[in-house]
């Protein structure tokens, strides 16, 4: 396994290009299963999760070709000869469950292993299953697999989500495009990735209204056609790299960034003393004063503060002036990065879903271990301003969600390298 070594060496300056969104791309890729015609995605991120979804789609019979160094994915599902998503692939990534709705909608049958992914809580798939049942699916759980069938096809229905689940909204949205009649999704997720999926599905001929709100209405159609669709900017990568100059100092421009993607996050940065300005090419970020101010953070579904930026924000607040409280309301077990930050000299007290962070003057470099995708990058951010050398191990998590981290941070002046474990 590889490690990443970071040595704090002062302010950052330059530009960082932001990739297409991992979470959007992983949702858009299964949409190919809804049509026999080609679906092409541009602005795709080059990540190990994309490779895993490619492997899964190919195992079902889809053709997936990576072009332009991985930034374009050309897909075709004209011959789906296998309707079982096997555990050996699905266990690697939670988004694998998103093949369930499209396969069921198109062919009336699917067998999908219960998924894996980062160990940040139970994240049950019951909301996915209840949504499909509301559309007439017959479901059975056997030996770790969801066995789903709809012999006469799915039919429109009313889906009332107990929680605004992004994944369940995406699965239901895709399934409803080919259901007979009208489907209404109540308490639907409102994330930009949902809007991006709806835009792609509309380009394929779907009839969808209300995406971006808590009520989405889908009028089923008989078939969907092919399309070419650009993947939306990755708001989590954007927020992550916005924190680099906030932590290390300096000024960095994030190419392709839009404030509308992360408004609540920008508000917290402003309260902490971080200036964010829009430019023709993206967003420019700099710290107003020598030290940031403490702020309280509560993670919430979009448009609230993203849970996927909580770990990175904690890294910033470790050296803030004052005491901050972070409340995690989306996933349990999502403060696993806290003990690693404590190894670097941070003062953090975790009690259930709350973490109290008392700022220190400076963190100290230390050997630390990544526990999940976002935790891994939070430790790298902390190392940018720490005294001495920080060695982050188990960085294979990082490859699931960030392309070329070392290259991007090095380009703005960070002292960072990736090495084989020593």
CA distances from 266 to 55, 263, 285, 287, 289 (A): 36, 5, 10, 13, 17
Please tell me the predicted confidence (pLDDT) of residue 374.
84
Query: In degrees to the nearest 10, what's the CA dihedral of 106, 40, 27, 242?
Result: -170
Q: Alpha helices of 179-262 — where are they, by DSSP H?
A: 192-203, 235-248
Q: Tell me the sheet residues that pair with 149.
A: 109, 138
How far, in Å, CA of 106 to CA of 27, rounded? 16
How far, in Å, CA of 78 to CA of 33, rounded? 8
How far, in Å, CA of 315 to CA of 390, rounded? 13
Point out the annotated binding site for UDP-N-acetyl-alpha-D-glucosamine. Answer: 94, 123-127, 308, 330
pTM of the model: 0.90
Point out the annotated binding site for phosphoenolpyruvate. Answer: 22-23
CA distances from 379 to 178, 318, 359, 383 (A): 44, 11, 16, 6
Point out the annotated binding site. Answer: 22-23, 94, 123-127, 308, 330
Quick: pLDDT tens for 335-366: 999 999 999 999 999 999 999 999 999 999 99
CATH code of the region 22-230 = 3.65.10.10
Please tell me the predicted confidence (pLDDT) of residue 118.
40
Quick: pLDDT tens for 24-71: 999 999 999 999 999 999 999 999 899 999 999 999 999 999 999 999
Please tell me the predicted confidence (pLDDT) of residue 116.
56
Concatenating the DSSP letter of every residue in 229-240 gives: EEPPB-HHHHHH
Please tell me the predicted confidence (pLDDT) of residue 120.
35
Please tell me which residue in 25, 118, 200, 318 is annotated as part of the active site.
Answer: 118
Token digits of residue 63? 């053709």
Domain ranges of the chain: 2-19+233-420, 22-230
CATH code of the region 2-19+233-420 = 3.65.10.10
Q: Is 118 a catalytic residue?
A: yes
Residue 182, phi then psi, degrees to nearest 5: -105, 135
pLDDT < 50 positions in the chain: 117-123
Q: How many CB atoms lie within 10 A of CB 268?
A: 20
303 preceded by a cis bond (ω within 30 of 0): yes
With b meaning 16 or more CB within 10 Å and e meaning fewer, what string describes 241-262?
Answer: bbbbbbbbbbbbbbebbbeebb
By the 8 A CB rule, do 53 and 96 touch?
A: yes
């Amino acid at each position: 396994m590889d490690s990443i070594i970071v040595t704090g060496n002062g302010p950052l300056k330059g530009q960082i290009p932001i990739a297409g969104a991992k979470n959007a791309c992983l949702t858009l890729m299964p949409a190919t299963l809804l049509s026999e015609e080609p679906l092409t995605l541009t602005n795709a991120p080059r990540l190990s999760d994309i490779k895993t979804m490619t492997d899964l789609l190919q195992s079902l019979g889809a053709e997936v070709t990576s072009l332009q160094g991985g930034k374009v994915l050309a897909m075709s599902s004209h011959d789906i000869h296998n309707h079982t998503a096997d555990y050996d692939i699905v266990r690697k990534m939670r988004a694998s469950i998103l093949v369930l709705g499209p396969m069921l909608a198109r062919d009336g049958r699917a067998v999908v292993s219960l998924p894996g992914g980062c160990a940040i809580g139970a994240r049950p798939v019951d909301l996915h299953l209840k949504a499909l049942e509301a559309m007439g699916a017959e479901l059975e759980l056997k030996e770790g697999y969801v066995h789903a069938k709809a012999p006469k096809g799915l039919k429109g229905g009313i889906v009332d989500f107990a929680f605004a689940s992004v994944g369940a909204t995406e699965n239901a949205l895709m399934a409803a495009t080919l259901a007979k009649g009208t489907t209404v999704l109540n308490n639907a997720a409102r994330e930009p990735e949902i809007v991006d999926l709806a835009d792609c599905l509309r380009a394929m001929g779907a009839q969808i209204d209300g995406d971006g709100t808590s009520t989405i209405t889908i009028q089923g159609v008989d078939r969907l056609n092919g399309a070419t669709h650009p993947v939306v900017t990755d708001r989590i990568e954007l927020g992550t790299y916005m924190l680099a100059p906030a932590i290390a100092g300096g000024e960095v421009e994030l190419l392709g960034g839009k404030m509308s993607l992360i408004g609540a996050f920008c508000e917290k940065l402003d309260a902490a003393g971080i200036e964010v300005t829009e430019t023709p090419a993206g967003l420019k970020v700099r710290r107003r004063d020598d030290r940031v101010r403490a702020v309280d953070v509560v993670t919430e579904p979009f448009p609230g503060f993203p849970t996927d930026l909580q770990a990175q924000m904690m890294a910033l607040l470790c050296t803030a002036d004052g005491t901050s409280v972070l409340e995690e309301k989306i996933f349990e077990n999502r403060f696993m990065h806290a003990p690693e930050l404590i190894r670097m000299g941070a003062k953090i007290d975790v009690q259930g879903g709350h973490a109290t962070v008392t700022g220190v003057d400076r963190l100290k470099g230390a050997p630390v271990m990544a526990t999940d995708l976002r935790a891994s990058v939070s430790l790298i951010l902390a190392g940018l301003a720490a005294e001495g050398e920080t060695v982050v191990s188990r960085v294979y998590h990082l490859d699931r969600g960030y392309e070329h981290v070392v290259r991007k941070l090095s380009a703005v002046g960070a002292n960072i390298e990736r090495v084989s474990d020593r």
